[in-house]
Amino acid sequence: MDESLTALTEKQVVNLCDGKILGYVIDFKIDVCSGRLTAIILPGESGFFGFKKCMDIIIPWEKICRIGEDAIIVDIGPLPKPEKDDNCNKKKKKLF
């Protein structure tokens, strides 16, 4: 099945571990030497009135199990809960 990057941003990302909907793809990491997609990037959790609360989530390509018509299924295990004094100043963080 061929998919465009734009089509991938229209699919919900679901964690296989707990069935939690993680959100929609907002960006990609691509290896410019090989031209391969290496990761998808999802927005971090929202805070008060939708303001950004924490870092974006980077999911490596190896963690993607299936790309379906409506969803992207990933197997990343349970997401770690941010600690109270977690530094959320960085834009992106690889959790896996």
Predicted confidence (pLDDT) per residue in 46-94, tens digit? 655 555 567 889 999 999 999 999 999 999 988 766 555 455 555 555 5
CB atoms within 10 A of CB 59: 23
CATH number assigned to the domain comprising residue 37:
2.30.30.240
Q: What is the pLDDT of residue 47?
A: 57
Q: What is the pLDDT of residue 81?
A: 67
If you average pLDDT over residues 3-27, what whole number do you get? 92
Q: What is the pLDDT of residue 77?
A: 85
Domain that residue 24 falls in: 5-94
**From CA 81, how far away is CA 59, in angstroms rounded?**
16
* Overall domain count for the chain: 1
> 3-class SS at 53?
coil
| Phi, psi torsion values for 63, nearest 5 degrees | -90, -5
| CA 56 from centre of chain | 7
